[in-house]
Structure 1
């Protein structure tokens, strides 16, 4: 008998002794980080509301209780029982019964009414129906991504259970070493922006944090080194993804091409957005005649291996590592990843990308932790003079540019990241038109922006509090404003818009590295009455940075591998203040108010000047040991 089997046998005995005599425990197993308890008496379990919480506290594990398949009521009878309990106002749109696990997935417009206060309605559902309820939100805006992910995971339930059981056994295996040390190796995004990737290693475990591409470049992280894939994909125990932007997520599916078969830990919206963005990444590569590094099957593998976590949940991901995700304030589902290593041995936090102040979309980044000895901190705007415009001033500037352009009968073209900046700008424009601060006109959304917006409305609990409340009411949902138009008619529709009345166009890609923005440049680039407005960071080497720096002639693909030169007559403006990244002051404030303040900081994800200047400033201001590492450096902390 293996050590994990002995452990499960002991847990079975402990739980049996802890529950009342009239409640049976037929099986106990691990599924990922959770302990799953099967019982022939699910209704009795549900009547004792504190039982599961008491067990979780006693065993210090996340526990899910499921009915033994042998005692399940028929789905048709269970459906009646479930619907009797749930109030009509919840807006149930689907019930999906899974007899292999005894779970019923309830899709509703208002999941909070299905959950009830402190989970009271969920317990009543389990008590009346004898099935374990799981609740998901019906997207207010139909999302093909959310629908496809949910349907795919439904089809993969059996395989996914096998994955989770294997992961669970790996997490709870016996420790193999008595040594104690913690190391971080930088595989990318050191003294550069993009290709984020790190290895966090102990004698027991290797965790890969992020695996992204580099905008405007073919450079990829150093995944081939021995610390990563160089010793084989099984060398990595788990992947943690801070957020879905491609400079952090693009190469996660590549791991499965090389045989990785382990878990990916991230938030639920990041999982969905990763699917959306990586599939588009493959599509853009194919359209540009480049060979994609992996195929769509690898994206599906990544989704199938993802274990979603909620902010604040402390989760075992290895025998010696616990992970907690916290809001990073950057994009939907973005997280600061906090690792508690060993039995109080060491704590490391990876910031990912952060925004410290509240924005229209998100609450500001969390910087309050039980313990942190080392912080790996992004430095995108870490340079000495990298101070962004105040948000109110930025919005006023944008409205001024729009009004001036409309007065001369032009169009406003805004290259924007599909995830984050687009939704922020949409909120500004919707309010400005509602208040009469800019004229009412169509706002055309091209590329993935509408689909990304639909995903935002699926997960309002990750948005700023007041915005979340507005999305719960269809008549107040700002993303449903009639001015927004999804561009889905291709070149004909783009030509009609370019030839028509004043309008605002938001189009991907945000750094002008491909996608529909290239078509808009052909339509509007030669028009001196129109304005191109940059509202997000333009990385070095991207076409966006070059246009921003004054290029008035750019290469445009003419098909067949040939390119032509396009003269730009369009006015070019930059409106600072909409970035999803903290500026220099925000980064300093994040560290200054961090509780507790770390002993060491690695400044990464910024160009050489930004990382070095931020590192120097934090050292002198707060007497913290700081570093601006190069790629492939390794730091030992214990």
Structure 2
């Protein structure tokens, strides 16, 4: 008998000694980080509300209780019982029964009413129907991504359960090594922006944190060929901090080259990764480049995702616990905290962070029990990288829009589909509602509308006041009449360019391809129009060159020729809308940590930014700091 089977037997014995004699446990198994308990008496389990909590506390594991398939109430009877329990105002839109696991997926407009106070309605559902409920939100704005991901995972439930069981056995395997060390190897994003990728290793475990591309470059992949990353199929886990392509683009590539393990991320990160990586393949194909992997690999990655919520402490290896915390950067972005060994060492990867609250998100969390080493982004870590206050930024943007409107021009804003676009939508909707700028069409091109739909699917990840507004359809700012989703392609773009004054939000945010190139062609020659940069423009991107004063840009000519277009429109930059903390925010993030880390690795910034921030943190806080290069390994302990 394997050590895991022996462990499960012992756990079942412990459970049976703790539960009342009228409850029977038929099987106990691991599914990913969770312990799943099958019982012939789910209703009795549900009647004792504290029983599962007591067991979870005693066993120090996350527990899910499911009915044994042999004792399930027929779905038709269960449906009637569930509909009797759930209040009509919850807006249930679908009930999906899975007899192999005894779970019923309840899709509702107001999931909180299905859950009830402290889970009381969920327990009542199990008491009355005997099924284990799982609750998901009906998107207020229809999202093809959310729909496709849910349908895909529904059809792959059986294979996914096999994956989770395999992962669970790996997590709970016996520790083999008596050595103690922690190492971090940098595979990308050191003294550069993008290509984020790190290996966190112990004698027992290897974890890959992020695997992204480098904006403005072609085919610059993280150093996955490094010995610390190989063989890929022996990596224990992948942790994805957020879905932006400079962190996620090459996650599917891992599966092409043999990786078959879990990806830990938040639920919105999973959905956004699917959206952005599929678009990444589409853009590559349109530009005549060979995509680095097939769309099948994106589906494989989604199948292997294990979503975690902020604050949940989760075993991901025999000697590693992972906890996600809000990073304030984009939807679902996470500061990733690793607790290694039995109190041996703690490492946090910031991912990308925004320290202050924004219209969309609460500021990044930095409250950890312990962190000995912090791996910290430095995008705006340079000595003079101080962003304008957001209120001042909004005023400047409104001034530029009013000036352009008076000239009957158009305002073209290159924007990242995820995060900055939604922030701007909130600013523009409020400005028009309060009369600060004239009411005019706001055209959304690229993936912005779809990304917005995903935001409204997961309002629990947004600021509280915004979440409350989304729940009231008549107050949902994303549904304002001014917003127009460009879905008519080039013909619609030409009509807009020849029409009345308007605002255009278009991907890509760094002008590296996508529909923004078409808008530049249509609007760029117009001296009455204006381009406004609101996000970071990485070195080597066309956005950075235009921002720096270049007034001729290449456009696709016929027969594979490249032609150049003269830009006559004004070009402005409005700081303060970035999803990244500025220099002050980065310093404040470290300053307010208690206790502060002993060491900080400054990454994800150009050479000047990482070295400036590293030097400043050393002098201000008297801690060991580094501005590593790619392919360096740091040993702790």
1:358 equivalent in structure 2: 357
Within a 5 Å distance, the mapping from 1:277-426 to structure 2 comes to 277-426=276-425
Structure 1's 559 and 171: CA in aligned 2 closer, same or farther, altered over 3 A? Answer: farther
Does the residue aligned with 2:557 lie in a helix, a strand or coil? strand
Does the residue aligned with 2:251 lie in a helix, a strand or coil? coil
Shift of 1:559: 4.6
Shift of 1:411: 0.3
1:98 equivalent in structure 2: 98
Which consecutive unaligned segments of at least 5 residues does structure 1 have?
none
Shift of 1:558: 2.1
Task: Render the CA deviation track for 1:369-423: whole Å, top value 9, x for unaligned.
Answer: 0110000000000000000000000000000000000000000000000000000
Runs of 4 or more above 3 Å deviation: none
2:21 equivalent in structure 1: 21
Within a 5 Å distance, the mapping from 1:48-87 to structure 2 comes to 48-87=48-87
Cα distance in 1, alignment partners of residues 618 and 200 from structure 2: 23
1:205 equivalent in structure 2: 205
Task: Render the CA deviation track for 1:145-181: whole Å, top value 9, x for unaligned.
Answer: 0000000000000000000000000000000101010
Does the residue aligned with 2:354 lie in a helix, a strand or coil? coil
Cα distance in 2, alignment partners of residues 238 and 286 from structure 1: 30
Within a 5 Å distance, the mapping from 1:86-125 to structure 2 comes to 86-125=86-125
1:260 equivalent in structure 2: 259
Cα distance in 1, alignment partners of residues 341 and 561 from structure 2: 56
Cα distance in 2, alignment partners of residues 131 and 523 from structure 1: 57
Shift of 1:233: 1.8
Asked if 1:544 is matched to 2:543, the reply is: yes
Task: Render the CA deviation track for 1:475-506: whole Å, top value 9, x for unaligned.
Answer: 00000000000000011100000000000000
Task: Render the CA deviation track for 1:242-276: whole Å, top value 9, x for unaligned.
Answer: 00000000000000000110000000000000000
Does the residue aligned with 1:491 lie in a helix, a strand or coil? helix
2:183 equivalent in structure 1: 183
Shift of 1:302: 0.3
Task: Render the CA deviation track for 1:58-95: whole Å, top value 9, x for unaligned.
Answer: 00000000000000010000000000000000000000
Task: Render the CA deviation track for 1:459-483: whole Å, top value 9, x for unaligned.
Answer: 0000011000000100000000000
2:472 equivalent in structure 1: 473
Shift of 1:560: 4.1
1:141 equivalent in structure 2: 141
1:570 equivalent in structure 2: 569
2:594 equivalent in structure 1: 595
Does the residue aligned with 2:227 lie in a helix, a strand or coil? coil
Cα distance in 2, alignment partners of residues 57 and 615 from structure 1: 41
Cα distance in 1, alignment partners of residues 204 and 42 from structure 2: 38
Does the residue aligned with 1:165 lie in a helix, a strand or coil? helix
Cα distance in 2, alignment partners of residues 309 and 58 from structure 1: 22
Which consecutive unaligned segments of at least 5 residues does structure 2 have?
none
Cα distance in 2, alignment partners of residues 415 and 534 from structure 1: 6
Cα distance in 1, alignment partners of residues 222 and 255 from structure 2: 16
Does the residue aligned with 1:348 lie in a helix, a strand or coil? strand
Does the residue aligned with 2:255 lie in a helix, a strand or coil? helix
**TM-score of the two chains, using structure 1 as the length reference:** 0.99
Does the residue aligned with 2:149 lie in a helix, a strand or coil? helix
**TM-score of the two chains, using structure 2 as the length reference:** 1.00
Shift of 1:54: 0.2
Cα distance in 2, alignment partners of residues 142 and 536 from structure 1: 27
Cα distance in 1, alignment partners of residues 58 and 83 from structure 2: 34
1:167 equivalent in structure 2: 167
Shift of 1:182: 0.1
Structure 1's 62 and 492: CA in aligned 2 closer, same or farther, altered over 3 A? Answer: same
Shift of 1:561: 2.9
Does the residue aligned with 2:525 lie in a helix, a strand or coil? coil
Superposition RMSD in Å: 0.5
2:222 equivalent in structure 1: 221
Cα distance in 2, alignment partners of residues 445 and 298 from structure 1: 29
Shift of 1:562: 2.1
Asked if 1:634 is matched to 2:615, the reply is: no
Structure 1's 102 and 404: CA in aligned 2 closer, same or farther, altered over 3 A? Answer: same
Cα distance in 2, alignment partners of residues 205 and 557 from structure 1: 48
Cα distance in 1, alignment partners of residues 266 and 248 from structure 2: 13
2:270 equivalent in structure 1: 271
